[in-house]
Amino acid sequence: MTQTPTRSDFDQYMVPNYAPQKTIPVRGEGSRLWDQSDREYIDFAGGIAVNSLGHCHPVLVNALKDQADKLWHLANVYTNEPALKLAGTLVERTFADKVYLCSSGGEANEAALKLARRFAHDTHGEHKDKIISFRQSFHGRTFFTVSVGGQPKYSQGFGPVPGGILHAEYNDLDSVRELVGDDTCAIMVEPMQGEGGILPADPAFLQGLRELCDEHDALLVFDEVQTGVGRTGSLYAYMEYGVTPDILTSAKALGGGFPVGAMLTTDRVAPAMGIGTHGSTYGGNALASAVALAAVEHIDTAEVLGGVKQRHDLFREHLEAINRQHGVFKEIRGMGLLIGAEMSDEYQGRAKEILPLAIEEGVMALIAGPNVLRMAPSLVIPEADIAEGMARLERAIARLVAAQ
Ligand SMILES: *Cc1c(COP(=O)(O)O)cnc(C)c1O
């Protein structure tokens, strides 16, 4: 290929599992992006809660460049310094005693589910294999994780799904009580459902899950792939809730844009993942680990985390002002810089229509299901970019309303 790629090359060369917007960004800096014709955009999408420090943050660029000159990859026949530093840092800063490194959220959850099953198998016996998760939840796209996820459309049409998986209602402890028993090996839950529509858990719900797990000797697994690494204003959302899981998964913001994932667990549970039980060629890759270490160390500071809470308030104020003008939202919710605006009855199912209009106005956003406009910007997005992005979003929404 010698010519500059165009959007139609996507349809020609790529498997058609995505439907990307027309514009092709070519460079980014902070919370701004530029496309092939040098048009500028404000980024409220953040690569779906991944670009935690915006685009090309110097801390991450330096970590990547430094490591690029030293060592990229060994595979797990050897260990390496960046992986050990990342694991040690995560242990120091969380409930965890042990870390398994991998390259994505789906992989971290796959490891968590396999560990939970294996722990129950080794500790209690074969009967203890039931996994409880929640309707509308999202845990990744591997076959095990789509089956545990609560959106059947992602697991249908691929043949027999793995067994032993039960789905309860999110934020409804009674629906869990109906399913839980001595054959339950784990309950997997997002402290705030992301893809499912930006729904924070009630504190009593997570606390209740903790108690049910303790009663039935089951493991509590928090999927913090979307909520983790500063997104909610704490290093992990479990810290906001004061409810500690047995296993926690992290990815997305962990690498700030470099593919990396991690599964965190305790000294009690980790031994079930003994030598040879599980693995990944790229897990603990030196480049990925060096970038993730820099991201965690930079984000887990009072300055960055405190700024997340301030910015949350700004996003909310702007969205409420837009809503006073146009009345398109029913509810604005979320924690930290994971924010959802649910469409009002009049605009049911039409969140998606805002995205191309917003791009035309120069701002990028996301949806979470058909009804929720979602924002997951950089945790350090400047106030001026928030104001400008919101002015652009207001114009996009005015056009949606005018086209009624
Ligand atoms: C994005 C996401 C995943 C999947 O992560 P990938 O890196 O796409 O595999 C899993 N769980 C949650 C909560 C997510 O938001």
Strand locations in 114-176, DSSP E? 130-134, 165-168
> For residue 340, what is the enclosing H or E element?
strand 338-343
Q: Range(s) for CATH 3.90.1150.10 in the chain?
A: 7-57+302-402
- CA 228 to ligand 1 centroid distance, Å: 11
Q: Supply the pLDDT for residue 2.
A: 80
Pocket test of ligand 1: the residue of 226, 249, 338 to mutate, having most ligand atoms within 8 Å of its CB, is 226
Q: In ligand 1, which atom is closest to the CA atom of 145?
A: 10
Probe target for ligand 1 pocket from 101, 113, 139, with the most ligand atoms within 8 Å of CB: 139
- Helix/strand/coil for 245: coil
Query: In Å, how far are 270, 327, 330, 331, 394 from 324, measured between CA atoms?
Result: 51, 6, 11, 12, 11
Mutate to test the pocket of ligand 1, among 102, 195, 231 (most ligand atoms within 8 A of CB): 195
Q: What is the pLDDT of residue 404?
A: 79
List strands edge to edge, sheet with 32-35: 25-29, 32-35, 40-43, 363-364
For residue 107, the ligand 1 atom closest to its alpha carbon is 9
Whether pTM > 0.95 for this model: the answer is yes
Question: What average pLDDT does the segment 248-252 reach?
Answer: 98
Q: How far is the CA of 111 from the centre of ligand 1 (A)?
A: 13
Q: Which fold has domain 71-299?
A: Aspartate Aminotransferase; domain 2 (3.40.640)
pLDDT of residue 183: 98
Tell me, what's the pLDDT at 372? 98
Reference 102, options 252, 274, 271, 306; nearest CA is 252
Distance, CA of 211 to CA of 173 (rounded, Å)? 11
Is the CB of 137 inside a 6 Å radius of any atom of ligand 1? no
Is pLDDT of 1 > 80? Answer: no
β-pair type (372-375, 366-367):
antiparallel
Nearest alpha carbon to residue 374 among 348, 344, 342: 342
Domain with CATH 3.40.640.10 in the chain: 71-299
Q: How far apart are CA 244 and CA 23, in angstroms?
A: 42
Handedness of CA 182, 183, 188, 189 (dihedral sign): negative
For ligand 1, atom 9, the nearest C-alpha belongs to 106
The ligand 1 atom at the shortest distance from the C-alpha of residue 194 is 15
Distance CA 49, CA 227 (A): 8
Q: What is the DSSP letter of 169?
A: -
Neighbour-count burial of 144, counting CB atoms closer than 10 A to its CB (0-12 exposed, 13-18 middle, 19+ buried)? buried
pLDDT at 174: 98
**What is the CATH superfamily name and number for domain 7-57+302-402?**
Aspartate Aminotransferase, domain 1 (3.90.1150.10)
pLDDT at position 377, please? 98
* Alpha-carbon gap, residue 136 to 361, rounded angstroms: 31
Single-letter amino acid, residue 336: G
Average pLDDT of the chain, as a whole number: 97
pLDDT at 43: 98
The reply to whether ligand 1 has any atom less than 6 angstroms from the CB of 139 is yes
Q: pLDDT tens, 95-153?
A: 999 999 999 999 999 999 999 999 999 999 999 999 999 999 999 999 999 999 999 99
Residues 192, 183: Cα–Cα separation, whole Å: 26
State pLDDT tens for residues 297-313.
999 999 999 999 999 99
pLDDT tens digit string along 260-300?
Answer: 999 999 999 999 999 999 999 999 999 999 999 999 999 99
8 Å CB contact between 55 and 385: no
